[in-house]
Amino acid sequence: MPKTAERTDPFSAWLKAMPAMGRLPAAPAMAPTMAPAMRRMFETQDRILDEVEVFARHWFQRRHEAARSAVDAAGRIAENGAEDPAEAQRLVGEWCSHSAERLSKDAQEGLHLFFTCTSHMVQGGVEAAEAQGAAAAEAGGKAA
C-alpha cells in the first residue's frame, strides 16, 4: 500500500505541473509564492461568477415577465380595444410603462453588477498581492 502523501496545495501542484506542459518554465521555483495569489484570483473569479449568475437570473425573470405581459396586453386589446381605440391606446401605454420599468431595472442591476465586480477585482488584486508578498517573505525567510 502506498504511503499517504502529505496534502499538497492544489495551486502549487498545478504550477509545478506547468513546465511539463511547456508553460511557465520557472514555475517550480515560483510555486510557493504564486499559489496564494492564484488562490485569491480563483476566489475572486468565483465571487464574480456568483454576481453574474444573480444578474442573469433576474434578467431572465424580467424577460419572462415581459413575454407574459405582452401576451396579456394583446389579449386585453383584442377583447376590449377593438371597439374602443382609446382603451387600446391605454393598454398599450400601460404595457410600455411596465416595459420601461423592466428596462430601468436592467440598467440599475447592470450598473450594480459592474461596480460590484470591479470591487471584487480590486479587492482580489489587493488580497493576491498581499498573499504573494507574505509567501515571498516566508520563502525568503526559509532560504536564509
Please indicate, yes or no, if residue 87 is contained in any of the structural domains: yes
Total-model pTM? 0.68
Q: Tell me, rounded to whole angstroms, the distance of Cα 14 from its chain centroid.
A: 24
Q: Which domain holds residue 86?
A: 52-129
Arithmetic mean of pLDDT, 85-103: 93
Arithmetic mean of pLDDT, 76-89: 84
Q: Does residue 144 or residue 108 have the better pLDDT?
A: 108
Of the candidates 127, 130, 107, which has an alpha carbon nearest to the alpha carbon of residue 45?
127
Arithmetic mean of pLDDT, 131-140: 80
| Residue 1: per-residue pLDDT | 44
Please indicate, yes or no, if residue 47 is contained in any of the structural domains: no
Mean pLDDT of all residues belonging to the chain? 82
Arithmetic mean of pLDDT, 68-94: 88
Please indicate, yes or no, if residue 56 is contained in any of the structural domains: yes
The CA distances from residue 60 to 9, 53, 66, 69, 108, in Å, are 38, 11, 10, 14, 15
The total domain count for the chain is: 1
